[in-house]
Amino acid sequence: MSGPLHLAKRFFVSLRPGPPSAPDETWAKGQLLAGEVELWASMPNPDRRHAVGVAHGVVDLLADQATRPVVAAALLHDVGKTADGLCTPGRVVATLLWAVVPDHRAAAWAERPGWRGVMGRYHLHPVIGAELLRAAGSDPLTSDWAAQHHQPESTWTLPADVARALQGADDD
């Protein structure tokens, strides 16, 4: 999900401007609760395009198991990135930084002004996203996946086949 190839693909795809197609945007909003639609609208175009692709992949993989909360999880798993405001080059820097800075620094950095705050909030985007989703009234499955989507499989609380589909579609 955050390996070098995945990140490289995300980087080049993110350089293309523009929102998702109008049908994709309409379909995505139709999967979301009212509070979730507001969060969706706050996500930048490249993130919404990526998320729609993940959600379509999950529907293909899970068919009837792709319930509304599962599709919402695919669409909003990275919504916490709205808190750092990093564009694509900044995310590359953050990824390189957190490869060498210990994870435990993130919480303290996230509270600081300046670049440390931005980097800290980027690293904590799963936790921040889960908080945003809980505040928006999301189904627990949706907020749990936001919190867990960068964690090892052994820590997942979602049904295993659902979580594997969410991660597998994100790797495509």
Binding region for Fe ion (CB under 5 A): 78
* Closer residue to Fe ion (CB): 78 or 144: 78
CB atoms within 10 A of CB 98: 17
The C-alpha atoms of residue 75 and residue 128 are separated, in whole angstroms, by 15
Which residue sits closest to Fe ion, CB atoms considered?
A: 78
Q: At what angle do helices 45-62 and 22-30 cross, to 10 degrees?
A: 70
- Write down the least CB distance from residue 17 to Fe ion, Å: 22
- Residue 5 or 63: the one with the smaller Cβ distance to Fe ion is 5
Q: How far is the CB of 126 from Fe ion (least distance, A)?
A: 6
Report d(CA 144, CA 131) in Å as an integer.
10
Q: Are 50 and 18 in contact (CB under 8 A)?
A: no
CA 22/CA 72 separation, integer angstroms:
18
Cβ of residue 146: shortest distance to Fe ion, in angstroms?
Answer: 8
* Closer by beta carbon to Fe ion, 62 or else 73: 73
Minimum distance from CB of 138 to Fe ion (Å)? 16
- CB nearer to Fe ion: give 56 or 125: 125
